[in-house]
């Protein structure tokens, strides 16, 4: 399950190396330049007087603290941010994330950046789920380098250009995310006016030119139409690639990329920048707003490590990409109608199946007929039984509701799904597109995939992978991934 829906190296290998990350903990409170502590000498009588006075002050302080606590009960409870069925403790943070800017959006992004703060940004260039993972990588890199991440919108690469872009904050709760990870996360629309006609020059690093040789140009960013940025790229050093020169794995390590933002690696690796497309500007990579063309192929240790529990981008960032309350509420409404559950009753625990069957997966079937290539109903039934056994043993729950989510267009196949008693979503009957927009069939499916107690996905689908991660970490649920490609691929 290490390849994504659309990425150009679907045959890339997972190859470990001996890279070692430096520790993320610092010796807080221990500084070599701290003043030495020199004890004073007191007489016994004077010492007793001081100890007595200190004791009285301590007792009075405790009485005062107890009085204040009793008079203000709300101060005794931690701040809790909850989402419908996904309550989660979040650190109490007093700052407003937008205080990392000078004010409301401006026509020029530089006019809104604080001089005492450093920022970082990058762009997306794949399918929606892969773009979610890319933004997770960007934010984790921001945490490593102590910068404020600026996130762009999602672009409709999987849906069709006429669907338009959708803001990151329309899908994910940015305030929740910022509090959960402890740093402000900004959207480009909060930094620069979306209606601005200003085209601004900026220098950025190209990671893409450093980690592969199939394409000579930087990765397509759409930064010009999206943010009005005319970028002068500097190709990163070839040692950024995890395995330099290996054509099947374009991954780079987080810390390798991060090193370009510090001396001496920055200075040692500056080469002649490439002129920007509009103004022909030749600029070294910006130091106030660091920027990179593409960060999908980045890892802490192992290529495609979102599959693994060790993934830092998932554990410390993307795990906290929680759906907005609005999107979760809309999706819950679909589930209630599908399961015929009244508004005042809880949605029953269920198992979701994510079945990829469209052309972007059929091409990998090669000469194997479609129905032999993709998992059969009995294959899914076996996996359902496995999930039910595990949830019974571990959680005391045996989910009976099964819902199929797929990109299959054949009505006969959908009839076969309903004949075995599984539930389905009819976005045409629900009028989803007219009610909410072209993005929402995909988004609602993603929310439903992640809101059950179990999920059955397909290997080599990043959408299945993230749905499984969410079910495991948000609901303590079960994730099973089916193999496919031949009639008995998932036999075990």
Q: Which helix (H) or strand (E) holds 436?
A: helix 432-436
Measured between alpha carbons, how far is 471 from 333 in angstroms, rounded to an integer? 19
pLDDT per residue over 332-354, tens digit each? 999 999 999 999 999 999 999 99
Q: What is the DSSP letter of 264?
A: T
- Measured CA to CA in angstroms, residue 436 lies from 170, 321, 327, 331, 441 at distances of 12, 21, 10, 12, 9
CB 119 within 8 A of CB 290: yes
> How many CA atoms within 13 Å lie on the side-chain side of 306?
36
pLDDT in tens, 24-78: 333 223 232 322 223 333 344 444 444 444 445 444 544 444 444 444 433 332 3
Residue 157 confidence class, pLDDT cut points 50, 70, 90: confident
Residue 464 has pLDDT above 90, yes or no: yes
- 399 and 475 Cβ atoms separated by less than 8 Å: no
The pLDDT-based confidence of 162 (bands split at 50, 70, 90) is: confident
pLDDT of residue 373: 97
Kindly give, in sequence order, each residue whose CB lies less than 8 Å from that of residue 256, ignoring residues fewer than 6 positions away. 239, 240
Q: What is the CA angle 309-482-4, rounded to 5? A: 60
Query: Does residue 159 or residue 476 have the better pLDDT?
Result: 476
Q: Could you give the CA distance from residue 402 to residue 190 in angstroms, rounded to a whole number?
A: 41
Instruction: Provide the pLDDT for residue 93.
Output: 53
Contact between 97 and 185 (Cβ < 8 Å): yes
**pLDDT tens, position by position, 214-225:** 999 999 999 999
CA–CA dist 196, 193 (Å, integer): 5
pTM (global) more than 0.75: yes
Average pLDDT of the chain to the nearest whole number = 86
pLDDT at res. 94: 58
Instruction: Please report the pLDDT score of residue 71 as a whole number.
Output: 41
Cβ burial 449-466 (10 Å sphere, 16+ → b, else e): bbbbbbbbbbbbbbbbbb
Rounded Cα–Cα distance for residues 137 and 124 (Å) = 11
Q: Where are the alpha helices (DSSP H) in 121-264?
A: 128-145, 168-171, 174-181, 188-191, 208-211, 223-227, 254-259
Residue 359's pLDDT is 87
Distance, in Å, from the CA atom of 387 to the CA atom of 129, rounded to the nearest integer, reads: 24
Is 140 within 8 Å of 254 (Cβ atoms)? yes
**For residues 349 and 365, what is the distance between their CA atoms, to the nearest angstrom?**
34
pLDDT tens digit string along 406-450?
999 999 999 999 999 999 999 999 999 999 999 999 999 999 999
Cα–Cα distance measured from residue 253 to residue 137, given in angstroms and rounded to the nearest whole number: 11
Assess whether pLDDT exceeds 50 at residue 294.
yes
Cβ pair 422, 403 in contact under 8 A: yes
Residue 26 main-chain phi, psi, to 5 deg: -115, 160
261 token code pair: 């933002």
**Calpha distance 374→355 (Å, rounded):** 8
3-class state of residue 429 by DSSP: helix
Q: What is the rounded distance in angstroms from the CA atom of residue 290 to the CA atom of residue 147?
A: 9
* pLDDT over 60 at 79, yes or no: no
Dist. CA 214–CA 6, nearest whole Å: 16
- List, in order, residues 6 or more apart from 455 with CB less than 8 Å away: 351, 352, 353, 354, 449, 464, 467, 468, 471, 477, 478, 479, 480
CA dist 228 and 108 (Å) reads 9
Q: What domains can be seen in the chain, in order of their start residue?
A: 88-320 (3.40.50), 344-482 (3.40.50.11350)
Q: Select from 234, 243, 233 the least CA-distant residue to 211.
A: 243
Q: Which residues of 17-42 are buried (b: 16+ CB within 10 A; e: fewer)?
A: eeeeeeeeeeeeeeeeeeeeeeeeee
Which residues, other chains included, contact 436 with Cβ-Cβ below 8 Å and sequence gap of 6+? 330
Percent of the chain with pLDDT over 90: 79
The answer on pLDDT for 240 being more than 60 is yes
Q: Using the predicted structure, report yes or no on whether residue 20 has a pLDDT greater than 60.
A: no
Averaged pLDDT for residues 5-34: 32
């Amino acid at each position: 399950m290490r390849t994504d829906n659309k990425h150009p190296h679907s045959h890339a290998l997972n190859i470990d190396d001996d890279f070692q990350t430096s520790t993320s903990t610092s010796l807080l409170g221990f500084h070599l330049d701290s003043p030495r502590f020199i004890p004073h000498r007191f007489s016994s009588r004077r010492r007793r007087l001081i100890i007595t006075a200190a004791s009285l002050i301590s007792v009075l302080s405790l009485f005062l603290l107890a009085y204040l606590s009793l008079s203000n009960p709300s101060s005794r409870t931690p701040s809790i941010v909850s989402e419908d069925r996904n309550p989660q403790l979040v650190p109490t943070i007093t700052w407003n994330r937008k205080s990392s800017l000078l004010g409301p959006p401006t026509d020029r992004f530089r006019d809104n950046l604080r001089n005492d703060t450093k920022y970082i940004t990058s762009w997306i260039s794949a399918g929606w789920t892969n773009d979610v993972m890319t933004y997770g990588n960007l934010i984790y890199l921001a945490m490593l380098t102590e910068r404020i991440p600026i996130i762009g919108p999602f672009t409709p690469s999987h849906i069709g250009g006429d669907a338009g872009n959708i803001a990151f904050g329309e899908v994910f709760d940015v305030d929740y995310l910022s509090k959960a990870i402890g740093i402000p996360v900004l959207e480009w629309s909060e930094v620069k006016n979306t209606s601005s006609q200003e085209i601004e020059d900026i220098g950025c690093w190209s990671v893409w030119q450093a980690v592969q040789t199939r394409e000579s140009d930087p990765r397509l960013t759409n930064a010009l139409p999206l943010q009005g940025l005319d970028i002068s790229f500097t190709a990163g050093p070839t040692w950024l690639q995890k395995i330099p020169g290996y054509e099947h794995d374009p991954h780079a390590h987080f810390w390798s990329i991060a090193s370009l933002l510090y001396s001496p690696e920055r200075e040692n690796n500056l080469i002649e920048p490439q002129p920007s497309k509009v103004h022909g500007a030749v600029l070294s990579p910006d130091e106030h707003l660091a920027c990179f063309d593409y960060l999908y192929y980045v890892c802490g240790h192992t290529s495609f490590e979102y599959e693994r529990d060790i993934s830092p981008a998932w554990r410390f960032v993307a795990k906290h990409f929680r759906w907005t309350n609005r999107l979760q509420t809309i999706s819950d409404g679909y589930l209630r109608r599908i399961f015929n559950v009244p508004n005042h009753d809880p949605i029953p625990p269920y198992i979701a199946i994510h079945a990829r069957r469209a052309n972007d997966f059929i091409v990998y079937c090669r000469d194997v007929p479609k129905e032999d290539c993709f998992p059969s109903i009995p294959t899914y039934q076996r996996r359902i039984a496995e999930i039910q056994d595990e949830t019974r043993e571990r959680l005391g729950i045996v989910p009976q509701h099964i819902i199929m989510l797929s990109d299959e267009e054949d009505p006969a196949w959908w009839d076969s799904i309903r004949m075995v008693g599984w539930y389905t979503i009819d976005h045409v009957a629900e009028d989803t597109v007219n009610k909410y927009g072209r993005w929402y069939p995909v988004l609602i499916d993603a929310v439903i995939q992640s809101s059950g107690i179990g999920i059955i996905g397909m290997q080599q689908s990043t959408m299945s992978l993230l749905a499984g991660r969410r079910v495991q970490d948000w609901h303590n649920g079960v994730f099973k991934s089916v193999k496919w490609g031949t009639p008995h691929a998932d036999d075990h």
